[in-house]
Amino acid sequence: MSVTSIPVLTIDGPSASGKGTVAERVARALGFHFLDSGALYRLTALSAMKHGVSLDDETRVAELAATLPAAFREGAVWLADEDVTDAIRAEAVGEGASKVAALPAVRAALFDRQRAYRQAPGLVADGRDMGTVIFPDAAAKVFLTASAEARAERRYKQLIEKGNSASLPALVADMQARDARDTARAVAPLKPAPDALLLDTTQMDIESAVQAVLAHYALCQARNK
Ligand code: C5P
């Protein structure tokens, strides 16, 4: 099987649109590998913070990204010999990820690493530019959205469930600021691929979103035959 014949399903969208959960479940349903590309940007930001490297030092952050000792094992995320599954989900690391993701050299450093996840029998790739930049030839593409308010509410519930304190208005503002940065950046801005299915999940639960994505994938497969 040549690499380009290995099917890829891309799921892009803004933060807290539910795409991580949807992508993981879809990958499980199809028996495909799963790439959480946001985790690579989060790991890069965390690594810079740990090494005392400024998040706007493009050359040094890109060096860290190129040599990231990252591993994904049994649902856990590792940076060298440290389990950083929870650490990379901290709001500060998400903020940092969004900053380093705007640096072209960092994106270039992660390009090949992301493409290497394309392995048989197939891949579900979750991110911002999976369908536009990393896998433009994907078999099926989905762009998942939800209103900033709905996304902030989802994040709010997650934080409260974990025993953290949170402010809903502050979360809406953070969400809008991150969207603005991801959408306005010069390289690989957050935008749907022209051939992506737009799925607004504001009024949808996770299971309905999973079913809609699976149906879209089946349709694309049938069309390509
Ligand atoms: O998806 P997640 O919230 O984990 O991503 C963290 C940050 O990484 C995003 O805010 C975005 O700036 C960046 N990112 C990106 N391209 C991707 C995935 C994530 O720029 N493919």
Quickly name the fold that domain 3-215 has.
Rossmann fold (3.40.50)
Q: So what's the pLDDT on residue 2? A: 82
Q: So what's the pLDDT on residue 165? A: 87
Q: So what's the pLDDT on residue 207? A: 96
Tell how far the Cα of 37 is from the centroid of ligand 1, in angstroms: 7
Tell how far the Cα of 45 is from the centroid of ligand 1, in angstroms: 11
Q: So what's the pLDDT on residue 86? A: 93
51 within 8 A of 182, measured Cβ to Cβ:
no
The letter for the amino acid at 199 is L
Tell how far the Cα of 223 is from the centroid of ligand 1, in angstroms: 31
Residue of the nearest CA to atom 3 in ligand 1?
Answer: 15
Q: What pTM was computed for the model? A: 0.93
Is the backbone of residue 33 left (phi > 0), alpha (psi -120 to 50) or beta?
beta
Could you say which residues of the chain have pLDDT below 70? Answer: 1
Establish whether residue 151 lines the binding site of ligand 1, counting it when its CB lies within 6 angstroms of any ligand atom: no
Nearest atom in ligand 1 to the alpha carbon of residue 99 is: 12
Q: What number of helices (H) and strands (E) belong to the chain? A: 8, 8
Domain ranges of the chain: 3-215
Distance CA 95, CA 38 (A): 12
DSSP 87-118: GGGSHHHHHHHHHHTT-HHHHHHHHHHHHTT-
Closest CA to 221 of 37, 30, 1, 34: 30
Q: So what's the pLDDT on residue 1? A: 65
Tell how far the Cα of 120 is from the centroid of ligand 1, in angstroms: 25
Nearest atom in ligand 1 to the alpha carbon of residue 126 is: 21
Distance CA 163, CA 142 (A): 33
Residue of the nearest CA to atom 13 in ligand 1?
Answer: 98
